[in-house]
């Protein structure tokens, strides 16, 4: 898309999936903000505005966690229309540099929340994570699958078991067709429990 902002491409290359929504408003009129959190898998929204006075522009942006409504980052950028490309480069670098660590930190905080009420399932999960380093992917996968036997809603264990299948394939232990079938099955089960 020719009118898509450059930073969308840079963030997308960093592994983030973005939904871009454009909206025009007249100055002084507030539009109802649509709830993007109702869309599947939208966890963060980058909002912004552009204001112009004579030959000056001010661009503002904020990153919002759709689940909590918390603002994770906000900033503004001032410039003139005659250096608009410099302002665009500054904006792109700052947004990409600021958002990636904020999203990563928010995800770390999200994972710290209590994942299961079953301590025995959580014990298998922790042993599986440690097992990835010491026992190998096949043993770790068995531990993650034991965890979901005890707590079928413990979604991260499905994802970790799928990751173990991938590691086993990369290391030459499993055929790709089997890995694709199993990782797809596990991903679907995880998605139903998130």
What domains are there in the chain, each with its CATH number?
Answer: 6-112 (no CATH), 119-193 (1.25.40.10)
The torsion angle over the Cα atoms of residues 28, 32, 37 and 39, rounded to 10 degrees, is -120
Give the sign of the dihedral formed by CA 111, CA 112, CA 117, CA 119: positive
SS3 for 14-71, per residue? CCCCCCCCCCCCCCCCCCCCCCHHHCCCCCEEEEEEEEEECCEEEEEEEEEECCCCCE
Residue 37 pLDDT level (bands cut at 50, 70, 90): very low
Residue 16 pLDDT level (bands cut at 50, 70, 90): low
**Mean pLDDT, the chain, integer:** 78
- Alpha-carbon separation of residue 172 from 53, 138, 166, 167 (angstroms): 62, 12, 10, 9
Residue 161 has pLDDT above 70, yes or no: yes
Is residue 90 within 8 A of residue 69, CB to CB? The reply is no
DSSP 81: G
Q: Most confidently modeled of 14-23, 58-67, 130-139, 158-167? A: 158-167
Q: How many CB atoms lie within 10 A of CB 41?
A: 8
Residue 140 pLDDT level (bands cut at 50, 70, 90): very high
Residue 110 has pLDDT above 80, yes or no: no
Residue 10 has pLDDT above 60, yes or no: no
Residue 33 has pLDDT above 50, yes or no: no
Residue-level pLDDT at 93: 80
Residue scoring higher pLDDT (175 or 25) = 175
């Amino acid at each position: 898309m020719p009118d898509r902002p450059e930073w969308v491409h840079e963030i997308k290359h960093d592994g983030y999936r973005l939904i871009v929504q454009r909206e025009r408003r007249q100055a002084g009129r507030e539009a109802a903000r649509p709830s993007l959190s109702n869309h599947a898998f939208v966890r963060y929204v980058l909002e912004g505005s552009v204001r112009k006075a004579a030959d000056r522009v001010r661009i503002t942006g904020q990153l919002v966690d759709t689940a909590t409504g918390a603002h994770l980052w906000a900033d503004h950028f001032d410039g003139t229309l005659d250096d608009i490309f410099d302002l665009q480069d500054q904006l792109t670098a700052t947004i990409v540099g600021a958002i990636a660590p904020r999203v990563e930190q928010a995800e770390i905080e999200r994972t710290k929340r209590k994942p299961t009420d079953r301590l025995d399932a959580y014990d298998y999960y922790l042993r599986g994570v440690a097992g990835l380093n010491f026992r190998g992917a096949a043993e770790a996968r068995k531990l993650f699958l034991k965890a979901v036997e005890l707590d079928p809603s413990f979604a991260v264990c499905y994802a970790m078991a799928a990751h173990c299948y991938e590691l086993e394939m990369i290391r030459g232990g499993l055929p790709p067709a089997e890995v694709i079938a199993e990782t797809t099955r596990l991903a679907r089960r995880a998605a139903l429990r998130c």
